[in-house]
Amino acid sequence: MKRTAPLCTRQRLDHPERKRALNREIFTAVAPRYQTITRLLSFNRDRVWKKRLVQALPPMAAPVCLDLACGTGDIARLLAEKYPGGRILGMDITEAMLERARRRRPPAAIEFHCRDMAQTGLEADAVDIITGGYALRNAGDLPSALAEIFRVLKPGGWAAFLDFSKPRSRLLQRLESGLLTFWGGIWGWIFHGDPGIYTYIAESLAQYPDRARLHHFFREQGFEIQDSSRHFFGVIERLTVRKPDHPEPGCCSPTGVT
């Protein structure tokens, strides 16, 4: 079968612009089947995790919400349901994913924009709530993404992220990587004739900070950790953070995360 996207390499993941280009290639290829494959890869638990992510957010009357790497709009829809008086912005760098989101006839409160999470184009302190499903791991430049999230979030605002998570133990990391490579490779071959499309999950996770380091980077950026919940034996994490009411000056610049 013909490949629909190139196999991933660490060289492409190590460079911000190459990683962004790789993300566009992969998610353009998977967009038509994204809803299906996400359910299959998660044993249909994905929708439950996303609901819990939004349920954990505090009540607000009419918040401005920003969903990063919004894909086909699952979390944006949940935000619109939770905050019927709010304004929901969904951002993704892949137009093919946004086209799928728009075809699903989203509520009028949702706006979709093709933008990078590190360059939202929003004013500082403009957003009450930020969410991201499988977002930060796919950031071309994680330090810049964290800095941008902190910049656009209002003081006292909340952010919640759902993603694959990496343990500190090297042995557990290898085990997790092997399982994700095997499971993703099967479905990549079945749906696309290319196991590399979904083994990207394991490859991107290898470059991603482990849980403890990720939490440290959030704190270093100026966030307060509110909650961390794990699913699937720790393979998935829901992380909720808050921007302080009175953040220290200068704490929204990139922190040098590697």
Check residue 162 and give its pLDDT. 98
The pLDDT tens digits of the residues spanning 28-61 come to: 999 999 999 999 999 999 999 999 999 999 999 9
Q: Reply yes or no on whether the pLDDT at 17 is more than 90.
A: yes
The pLDDT tens digits of the residues spanning 218-244 come to: 999 999 999 999 999 899 999 999 999
Check residue 195 and give its pLDDT. 84
Check residue 2 and give its pLDDT. 43
Q: Reply yes or no on whether the pLDDT at 10 is more than 60.
A: no
Report yes or no on 1 lying in a domain: no
Report yes or no on 248 lying in a domain: no
Q: Reply yes or no on whether the pLDDT at 107 is more than 80.
A: yes
The pLDDT tens digits of the residues spanning 71-100 come to: 999 999 999 999 999 999 999 999 999 999
Residue 193: pLDDT band (50, 70, 90) is confident
Residue 8: pLDDT band (50, 70, 90) is very low
Report yes or no on 256 lying in a domain: no
Residue type, 243: K
Higher-pLDDT residue of 253, 169: 169
Domain count of the chain? 1
pLDDT (mean) for 105-116: 96
Check residue 3 and give its pLDDT. 46
- Tally Cβ neighbours within 10 Å of residue 170: 9
Locate tokens 């704190």: which residue?
219
pLDDT (mean) for 9-17: 72
Report yes or no on 251 lying in a domain: no
Report yes or no on 77 lying in a domain: yes
Report yes or no on 82 lying in a domain: yes
Q: How many CA atoms lie within 13 A of 112 on its CB side?
A: 25
Q: How many CA atoms lie within 13 A of 230 on its CB side?
A: 8
Burial of 80 (0-12, 13-18, 19+ CB in 10 A): buried
Residue 11: pLDDT band (50, 70, 90) is low
Query: Where in the sequence is the domain holding 158, given as residue range(s)?
Result: 10-242
Give residues with Cβ within 8 angstroms of 75, minimum separation 6.
50, 53, 54, 67, 131, 132, 133
Report yes or no on 253 lying in a domain: no
The pLDDT tens digits of the residues spanning 113-164 come to: 999 999 999 999 999 999 999 999 999 999 999 999 999 999 999 999 999 9
Helix axes 34-41, 16-30, angle to 10 degrees: 100
Report yes or no on 80 lying in a domain: yes
Check residue 6 and give its pLDDT. 45
Residue 257: pLDDT band (50, 70, 90) is very low
Residue 190: pLDDT band (50, 70, 90) is very high
CATH assignment of the domain containing 85: 3.40.50.150
